């Protein structure tokens, strides 16, 4: 259920609405009264791996959303049971307000993020907007509704993150997340960086530059038909490195006609919690570099469907 009216494009308004679990669409009326437009529900896919405390803070952010027209799928790349023990109370809270949470898990056999994300998408067959983020990212209050507002047929959304410092991350607690105080932790430098990404994505897309728009797997979204058109994530990317998200962008931008790109840098950015990271490596030393450099089909061979010629739904 939507908690408040939202202004959409071209003067449309999203009015307060009621829904049952059997209803997968809500409706908005043009402010001019000329037509009705339907807005699809969304699924939020949160990739996770043994990051219970960070994921708990992330889920608290979804309790603050100004729209309830979504569900959550935790795509777990092999975490131990401690993860679910950490987040169970928040999952119960989300369920109590009508936001269902599904935990999709597979055995830990190394970094197989693409594989578990594809499986999570298969288990959410009704949502028409697929939003992807990470378990260490806290969404702003309008995160889901903003993606829904910009969604259209075959749309591809890119957005960014405020990179929290170690000190600001350590200052987080349940109270300042529930109150929304964390949204004031953005810095001038972080805002400047997001503006730069916005400009590069905007002009790079208009000028059809390679590797544009800029993409971050912690905040991106796809119309379901577009995601199925390219057969989802390429599961050939195994191991941490370059390419899991960039490959998706590259294949989408090779489609003809090109899909509508929604550049939401500075508009709908998440808050990325600080954590230690491995020392940076040159690109050519990354595990996935050689595979990323290969020529790959737009519709990947090892994705949502194992036979790319198969129609979605034939497996089920």
Q: Is residue 27 part of a domain?
A: yes
10 & 52 share domain = no
Return the pLDDT at 20: 34
Do 115 and 207 belong to one domain? Answer: yes
Q: Does residue 202 share a domain with residue 86? A: yes
Lowest mean pLDDT among 46-60, 155-169, 226-240: 226-240
Report the pLDDT value the prediction gives residue 131, as an integer from 0 to 100: 99
Q: Band of the pLDDT at 308, cuts 50, 70, 90?
A: low
Q: Which residue has the higher pLDDT, 208 or 180?
A: 180
**pTM of the predicted structure, to 2 decimals:** 0.83
Q: Do 148 and 268 sit in the same domain of this protein?
A: yes
Across 81-96, average pLDDT: 96
Within a domain: residue 155? yes
Instruction: Read off the pLDDT band of 77 (50, 70, 90).
Output: very high
Within a domain: 241: yes
149 located within any domain = yes
Same domain, 45 and 35: no
| CATH number of the domain bearing residue 105 | 3.90.550.10
Determine, yes or no, domain membership for 89: yes
Confidence of residue 5 (pLDDT cuts 50, 70, 90): very low
Residue 7: pLDDT above 90? no
Q: Please state the rounded mean pLDDT for residues 215-220.
A: 95
Q: Both 17 and 96 in a single domain?
A: no
What is the average pLDDT across 229-244? 82
**Is position 314 within any domain?**
no
Q: Is residue 117 part of a domain?
A: yes
- pLDDT (average), residues 214-234: 96
148 and 25 part of one domain: no
Q: Is 273's pLDDT higher than 90?
A: yes
Q: Give the pLDDT band (50/70/90) at residue 286.
A: low
Of the ranges 11-20, 245-254, 295-304, which one carries the lowest mean pLDDT score? 11-20
Domains in the chain, number: 2
**In this prediction, what percent of the chain has a pLDDT beyond 90?**
67
Section 48-76 average pLDDT: 96
Asked whether the predicted pLDDT for residue 3 surpasses 60, the reply is no
Residue 289's pLDDT is: 65
> Residues 136, 86: one domain?
yes
* Residues 71, 160 within the same domain: yes
Residues 211-224, mean pLDDT to the nearest whole number: 94
Does the pLDDT value for residue 18 go beyond 70? no
**Model pLDDT for residues 46-55, shown as the tens digit of each residue:** 999 999 999 9
Of the listed ranges 129-138, 197-206, 219-228, the least confidently predicted one is 197-206
Q: Are residues 33 and 160 in the same domain?
A: no
Three-state secondary structure readout of the chain: CCCCCEECHHHCEECCCCCCCCCCEEEEECCCCCCEEEEECEEEEEEECCCHHHHHHHHHHHCCCCCCCEEEEEEECCCCCHHHHHHHHHHHHHHHCCCCEEEEECCCCCCCHHHHHHHHHHCCCCCCEEEEEECCEECCCCHHHHHHHHCCCCCEEECCEEECCHHHHHCCCHHHHHCCHHHHCCCHHHHHHHHHHHHHHHHHHHCCCCCCCCCCCCEEEEEHHHHHHCCCCCCCCCCCCCCHHHHHHHHHHCCCCCCCEEECCCCCCEEECCCCCCCCCCHHHCCCHHHHHCCCCCCCCCCCCCCCCCCCCCCC
**Domain limits at 149?**
41-293
Query: Is there a single domain that holds both residue 200 and residue 58?
Result: yes
In this structure, the answer to whether residues 51 and 14 fall within a common structural domain is no
Instruction: Note the pLDDT of residue 277.
Output: 80
**Could you tell me if residue 64 is inside a domain?**
yes
Residue 309 has pLDDT above 60, yes or no: no
């Amino acid at each position: 259920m939507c908690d408040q009216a939202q202004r959409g494009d071209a003067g449309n308004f999203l009015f307060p609405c009621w829904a049952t679990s059997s209803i997968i669409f809500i409706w908005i009326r043009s402010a001019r009264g000329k037509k009705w437009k339907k807005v699809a529900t969304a699924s939020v896919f949160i990739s996770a791996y043994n990051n219970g405390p960070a994921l708990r803070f992330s889920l608290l952010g979804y309790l603050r959303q100004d729209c309830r027209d979504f569900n959550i799928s935790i795509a777990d790349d092999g975490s131990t049971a401690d993860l679910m023990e950490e987040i169970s109370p928040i999952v119960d809270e989300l369920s109590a307000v009508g936001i269902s949470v599904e935990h999709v898990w597979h055995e830990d056999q190394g970094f197989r993020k693409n594989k578990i994300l594809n499986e999570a998408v298969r288990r959410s067959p009704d949502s028409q907007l697929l939003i992807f983020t990470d378990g260490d990212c806290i969404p702003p209050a309008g995160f889901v509704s903003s993606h829904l507002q910009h969604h259209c047929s075959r749309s591809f959304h890119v957005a960014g993150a405020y990179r929290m410092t170690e000190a600001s991350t350590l200052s987080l607690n349940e109270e300042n997340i529930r109150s929304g105080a964390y949204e004031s932790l953005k810095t001038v430098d972080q805002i400047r960086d997001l503006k730069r990404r916005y400009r590069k994505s905007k002009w790079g897309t208009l000028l059809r530059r390679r590797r544009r728009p800029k993409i971050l797997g912690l905040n991106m979204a796809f119309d379901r038909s577009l995601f199925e058109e390219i057969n989802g994530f390429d599961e050939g990317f195994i191991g941490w490195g370059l390419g899991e998200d960039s490959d998706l962008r590259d294949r989408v931008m090779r489609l003809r006609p090109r899909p509508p790109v929604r550049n939401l840098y500075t508009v709908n950015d998440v808050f990325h919690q600080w954590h230690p990271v491995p020392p940076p490596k040159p690109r050519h030393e990354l595990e996935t570099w050689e595979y990323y450099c290969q020529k790959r089909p737009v519709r990947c061979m090892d994705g949502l469907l194992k036979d790319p010629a198969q129609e979605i739904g034939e497996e089920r």
